[in-house]
Amino acid sequence: MDKAGNVRRYESVLVRRTYRDGKKVRHETLANLSKLPADVIAAVEGTLKGQVLVPAGSEFTITRSLPHGDVAAVAAMARQLGFPALLGPACRSRDLVFALIISRVIQPASKLSTLASWADSTVGVDLDVATASTDEIYAAMDWLADRQDTIEKKLAAKHLGPQANPSRMALFDLTSARMTGRCCELASRGYSRDGKKGYRKSNTASSPIQPAARWRCGCLPVTPPTRSPSPTSSRWCAPNSGLIGWCWSVIAA
């Protein structure tokens, strides 16, 4: 402690030996290690204690390394949002659908590519779907399609109820895109908003279920309109409703 009352603490790391000189026990300082890094001091201490030190990693061989952080983060958030309970009762199909959703967020791909990617991440091991087959994946998709109405009712009750949505308003957005292929069952000829004539159209509908948050999306078949929709009658916007988005009143493309 100095005259101002400040306490100063000094630490020193010394290598010392103790020996007997006649009837007296003496101590001798061999080295001062105070200025060395902490890991070097620990290595010297271990060596003096008789420990056998080996280079880090020399006794181990990394045979496989799988990415895990993204899987853990997305799975944790999905469970926090209640996705497993939303999908349905616990079963093999629910586990597979849950894994497909997690993979869709992490790395979107086709179902078969997603199935193959489970061997290159911890999705398969963590969600217990590592041994899933192609037939199981398609069966899980059929199971999900059968539960679509139930899932939509749960979402509506949660996000459009009186407490979550006091205004009782749901906005709706309709977007059409031209299709160059001929195999899409939802595509048909109809009114083209972007002026690209001669192509089949498909519609995608979106509805926000919370302000600036999640959107419920789906595809609608094209219905040829009886008349061309005018800009004033085909859409309207509620800027003061508290929700963000456009509401389209015309379903045809």
Question: pLDDT tens for residues 174-201?
Answer: 777 777 877 777 777 777 777 777 788 7
| Residue 139 and residue 206 in one domain | no
Phi then psi for 85, rounded to 5 degrees? -65, -30
Residue 160 counted as domain residue: no
- For 183, residues 6+ apart whose C-beta sits below 8 A from its C-beta are none
Residue 158 counted as domain residue: no
| Residue 178 and residue 253 in one domain | yes
| Residue 48 and residue 79 in one domain | no
* Geometric angle at alpha carbon 53, from 51 and 57, rounded to 5°: 145
Phi then psi for 211, rounded to 5 degrees? -55, 125
φ/ψ bin of 231: left (φ > 0), alpha (ψ from -120 to 50), beta (otherwise): alpha
The pLDDT of residue 173 is above 80? no
Phi then psi for 155, rounded to 5 degrees? -65, -40
Which tokens sit at 186?
A: 């939802």
- Tell me which residue range forms the domain holding 250: 169-253
User: Which among 131, 146, 161 is the end of a domain?
Assistant: 146
Distance CA 158, CA 86 (A): 10
| Residue 44 and residue 118 in one domain | no
- For 88, residues 6+ apart whose C-beta sits below 8 A from its C-beta are 94, 143, 147, 150, 151
pLDDT at 237: 34
Distance CA 179, CA 35 (A): 72
* Geometric angle at alpha carbon 168, from 166 and 172, rounded to 5°: 130
| Residue 113 and residue 134 in one domain | yes
pLDDT in tens, 14-35: 888 888 888 899 988 888 888 8
Residue from 171, 75, 174 nearest 125 by CA: 75
Span 62-73, mean pLDDT? 87
Cα dihedral: 63, 68, 70, 72 (round 10): 170
| Residue 30 and residue 90 in one domain | no
| Residue 76 and residue 29 in one domain | no
Residue 156 counted as domain residue: no
pLDDT in tens, 43-65: 888 888 888 887 776 777 778 78
| Residue 82 and residue 131 in one domain | yes
